Homo-oligomer: A and B are copies of this chain.
């Protein structure tokens, strides 16, 4: 699929979805739309992802060169920025599908719905869960695949990135590995998935189990994208639903080096790493024997490679398990343990 990614005024630093797609998706990215970086290229800002030209809007792209437009940014609140309307309109007039992770559903927008119908395009709001979800049956352990779930000490601790890096490198090493996406960026990268944080709370585990059962006999390894943290004051429900719903065999604990409190909830200190290990394993145990067998430390806050290496080694010591920074030091140490 040939896609353009809308990232106006936010590329690359505040365009997590755009970067995820450039880094991990199979899509052929024909352009990034950012009116404040018109004329540059992705490689001017980010060296290690798929390169593409940056243009000011959809009208700089030829209709025959593109299949879909992806909204690659999310403003606080998840609303639709009216300054994007021309681009979405042009995409639909070109006959492109439009894929969005906004809280504002494009399919509820009268103009977009009408244009999509006229031009035979799909509007895919990835945050809108399917209608047919239901409660878990406690059956995810019946699949043939080994199920590996990323869990975290907080949100934004690298669970999506770790999941994608591990799955990609496992495939590159000749293994049959698939990703079970649970959040909007993962779903956009993989082209399918249930947005677990948007499902009815009773169906949290069931929406994960359904995906495991669908893919679990087709692959040898499933890498499940985790969400939140088991001790997050707001999002722990989602975390536990994924843990119990996936009935994971192995867990990889993701953590930001040096972080001491829940982001945005600074009065809540992170417990110690061994406490996290106990919490995740003990609360999983009555449902599945899920064990933390490796760690992923995000050392991007540390400039010095040696300091980063020391932090990873200390993290591995604390976990008593192999660890790495998947971006800085690759995935070998962790994949050796998992595969």
Q: Shortest beta-carbon distance, A97 to chain B, in Å? A: 25
Q: Shortest beta-carbon distance, A182 to chain B, in Å? A: 11
Q: How many copies does the complex hold?
A: 2
Counting CB contacts under 8 A, is A73 at the interface? no
Chain A residue total in the interface (Cβ 8 A) = 45
Chain B residues closer than 8 Å to A286, beta-carbon distance:
231, 268-271, 275
Contact A237 B231 (CB under 8 A): no
Counting CB contacts under 8 A, is A137 at the interface? yes
Contact B230 A138 (CB under 8 A): no
Q: A283-B279, A286-B271 are in contact. Are A138 and B201 (CB under 8 A)?
A: no
Q: Shortest beta-carbon distance, A134 to chain B, in Å? A: 9
Counting CB contacts under 8 A, is A301 at the interface? no
B-contacting residues, A49-98, CB 8 Å: none
Contact B201 A241 (CB under 8 A): yes
Q: Shortest beta-carbon distance, A247 to chain B, in Å? A: 8
Complex CA distance for A236 and B201, rounded to whole angstroms: 10
Q: A231-B283, A231-B287, A286-B231 are in contact. Are A202 and B238 (CB under 8 A)?
A: yes
Chain B residues closer than 8 Å to A202, beta-carbon distance:
197-198, 234-235, 238
Complex CA distance for A236 and B138, rounded to whole angstroms: 12
Contact A233 B200 (CB under 8 A): no
Q: A198-B200, A282-B278, A286-B268 are in contact. Are A205 and B230 (CB under 8 A)?
A: no
Q: Shortest beta-carbon distance, A140 to chain B, in Å? A: 9
Contact B282 A205 (CB under 8 A): no
Q: Shortest beta-carbon distance, A90 to chain B, in Å? A: 32
Chain B residues closer than 8 Å to A241, beta-carbon distance:
201, 236-237
Complex CA distance for A265 and B247, rounded to whole angstroms: 14
Complex CA distance for A85 and B209, rounded to whole angstroms: 37
Determine the residue in chain B with the shortest Cβ distance to A266. Answer: B138
Complex CA distance for A245 and B232, rounded to whole angstroms: 10
Q: Shortest beta-carbon distance, A250 to chain B, in Å? A: 19
Chain B residues closer than 8 Å to A196, beta-carbon distance:
201
Counting CB contacts under 8 A, is A206 at the interface? yes
Complex CA distance for A248 and B285, rounded to whole angstroms: 24
Contact check: which of B138, B233, B235, B283 meets A233 at CB < 8 Å?
B138
B-contacting residues, A203-262, CB 8 Å: 203-206, 230-241, 244-245, 247, 262
Contact B236 A244 (CB under 8 A): yes
Q: A199-B201, A286-B269 are in contact. Are A237 and B234 (CB under 8 A)?
A: no
Complex CA distance for A247 and B267, rounded to whole angstroms: 14
Contact B278 A137 (CB under 8 A): no
Counting CB contacts under 8 A, is A135 at the interface? yes
Known contacts A205-B236, A231-B287; 10 additional CB pairs below 8 A are: A137-B234, A138-B233, A138-B268, A201-B241, A230-B240, A230-B283, A234-B244, A236-B283, A237-B237, A283-B283
Can you report 15 A-B residue pairs in the complex whose CB atoms are below 8 A from each other?
A136-B233, A138-B233, A138-B265, A199-B201, A201-B203, A201-B204, A201-B238, A205-B235, A231-B244, A232-B244, A236-B240, A236-B283, A237-B244, A240-B240, A275-B286
